[in-house]
Amino acid sequence: MVGPTSLLASLLVGFAHPAATYIPIEVDPVALRRGDDRFHVETNAARRDVNVFVYRAPRHGPTDPVVIVLAGMNRNAEAYRRAWIEAANRYNLMIIAPEFSKSAFPEATDYNIGGMLAEAKRDRRSDHQLPLADRENWLFADIEAVFDAARERYSLPQNSYDLFGHSAGGQIVHRMVMFAPDARIDRAIAANSGWYTVPERAAPFPYGLDRLAQEDARLDRAFDKRMTVMLGEQDRGREARSSLRKSRWAKRQGKGRLDRGQYFYDRAAALAAEQGSDFNWSMQIVGGVGHDYRAMSQAAADYLYAPRMASLN
């Protein structure tokens, strides 16, 4: 980090005095930085290393959104950051893309499922047979730690963030909304997830809620969150460049990502109505798009921020 620099600020003391009094103020230039940046965070008790890629629009201010962006299975956080730069400039956003590397988070259980399961398949058991990990080691706490580090580094007054994830990142988003209701998420978009933890007891965790204690799935609070399930109309599981889980429990949710997302949303809406919960989730289908994180990033940015920008103009 660049060391603090003394900047001169003039303060006029008293209306009767013709001259100004100059008082030096210590300002860290990193807090004022715009454009590309990168920093490093060591998170949680396991001391996991996370590289964080940042883009801050030139006009991003203290009331403008902060967006945490979660990459897919390739963990290509820097590429996801780049995919959001055009939208960041258009809507005055700050993009924070943490890189949860395969060395620190090697398995799908470590990343897609948010580290909620212990000992990821090391004894050849299926994931639905694995015990739950300690809550403090779940990935969701790392995301909150990244936000805290960014607030400190850039002196951000924002006390909440928007959360976007595509594919494997979308899996993290919907599970974080369901199982970390205290997270400081304002709005969330789970885009093109390969499969889901469906809010139903008919399937074992992580495909459903069977095996979970009631306090592990705080659905009333989860349904209160503003989350959008965003689905590419053409993301039906047949694209060569994508991978799709084909286990028995995953197939039960549908043949492809579009079907599975609709199943997840419909089951959540039905359960919310059944138990009389407020339901602030929504579903958006993006026409003509398949498993494409760039196109889905653009669609998510327009969906979240175009109305806000229009209201300011």
> Are residue 141 and residue 266 in the same domain, yes or no?
yes
Q: List, for residues 130-154, the tens digit of each pLDDT value.
A: 788 888 889 999 999 999 999 999 9
Is the confidence at residue 179, as pLDDT, over 90? yes
Q: What pLDDT shows up at residue 124?
A: 59
> Are residue 183 and residue 287 in the same domain, yes or no?
yes
Is the confidence at residue 176, as pLDDT, over 90? yes
Find the mean pLDDT for residues 234-255: 83
> Are residue 38 and residue 5 in the same domain, yes or no?
no
Predicted TM-score (pTM) of this structure:
0.88
> Are residue 103 and residue 4 in the same domain, yes or no?
no
> Are residue 161 and residue 307 in the same domain, yes or no?
yes
> Are residue 3 and residue 144 in the same domain, yes or no?
no
Residue in 6, 57, 55, 39 with CA at minimum distance from that of residue 153: 39
> Are residue 93 and residue 206 in the same domain, yes or no?
yes
Q: What pLDDT shows up at residue 216?
A: 67
> Are residue 83 and residue 27 in the same domain, yes or no?
no
Secondary structure element (H or E) that encloses residue 283, with its range = strand 282-286
CA distances from 120 to 55, 70, 116, 246 (A): 33, 21, 10, 18
Mean pLDDT of the chain: 87
Q: What pLDDT shows up at residue 26?
A: 54
Q: How many domains does the chain have?
A: 2
> Are residue 214 and residue 98 in the same domain, yes or no?
yes
> Are residue 68 and residue 204 in the same domain, yes or no?
yes
Q: What pLDDT shows up at residue 313?
A: 73
Which of 44-48, 99-103, 251-255, 292-296 has the weakest average pLDDT? 44-48
Q: What pLDDT shows up at residue 6?
A: 35
256, 244 Cβ separation under 8 angstroms: yes
Specify the CATH number for the domain of residue 214. Answer: 3.40.50.1820
125-134, 187-196, 197-206, range with greatest mean pLDDT: 187-196
Find the mean pLDDT for residues 98-110: 91
> Are residue 21 and residue 84 in the same domain, yes or no?
no
Q: List, for residues 2-45, the tens digit of each pLDDT value.
A: 444 333 333 333 334 444 555 555 556 787 789 999 999 988 76
> Are residue 57 and residue 98 in the same domain, yes or no?
yes
* Block residue for tokens 């789970």: 190
Residue in 233, 228, 288, 294 with CA at minimum distance from that of residue 259: 233
Q: What pLDDT shows up at residue 169?
A: 98
CA distances from 106 to 191, 293, 306 (A): 22, 21, 37
Range of the structural domain that residue 99 is part of: 33-312
